[in-house]
Amino acid sequence: MGNRLLVLVRHGESEWNKLNLFTGWRDVGLTEKGVAEARAAGRRLKAAGLSFDVAFTSVLVRAQYSLDLILEEIGQQNLAVVKDKALNERDYGDLSGLNKDDARNKWGDEQVKLWRRSYDVPPPGGESLKDTAARVLPYYNREILPRVLAGDHVIVVAHGNSLRALVMRLENLSPAEIVAREIGTGVPMIYRLNADASVAERRDLAA
């Protein structure tokens, strides 16, 4: 896909994804399925002939381990990796660690839906997607985008909502459009950028 390549991947299924818990900044590992998803993502990237000059990830284990597995499958275990909390998942605050069904029983379905799927309404003590974007996008502009525009092939392995913030920017989506966008675990999203940072081409490497 030429130069100015950016690949985004959400980590594989985590232990708390499987248990239907709000995770946020809590540090949890991958399930066996999550390990398999990350490895499969790496195999699909390798089959597409892609390799990378630098990788970015969050400070959370589920993203870092997913990246390790992807790079192992590609054969790039020694790739330079930059870890930063700016790429962490959205902080769910008081919801962190709670079962989503229990949260609905406590606060009501509409309130929990508002916290989960609105753009700018944060849960108690936590972040909205708007808040998450406010830390992700400056980091992207400062650290990631310049590398892509310089011609490096860049992979970012992060989380559903930190990646939503990037997708919103890349695809010029509205708040309503981005909250409805599902980011699947372990599915590489491949972007080729123009010199002005707009998207020239986008495709997913789904199974």
User: How many angstroms separate the CA atoms of 181 and 113, rounded?
Assistant: 15
Q: Give the sign of the dihedral formed by CA 141, CA 57, CA 156, CA 118.
A: negative
Contact 57, 158 (CB under 8 A): yes
Residues marked active site are found at 11, 89
User: How many angstroms separate the CA atoms of 127 and 85, rounded?
Assistant: 14
Q: Tell me which residue has tokens 């920017």.
A: 169
As beta bridge partners, residue 6 has 154, 191
DSSP per-residue string spanning 147-205: HHHTT-EEEEEE-HHHHHHHHHHHHT--HHHHHT----BT--EEEEE-TTS-EEEEEE-
Beta strands in 23-182 (DSSP E): 54-57, 81-83, 153-158
User: How many angstroms separate the CA atoms of 36 and 38, rounded?
Assistant: 6
User: How many angstroms separate the CA atoms of 140 and 87, rounded?
Assistant: 9
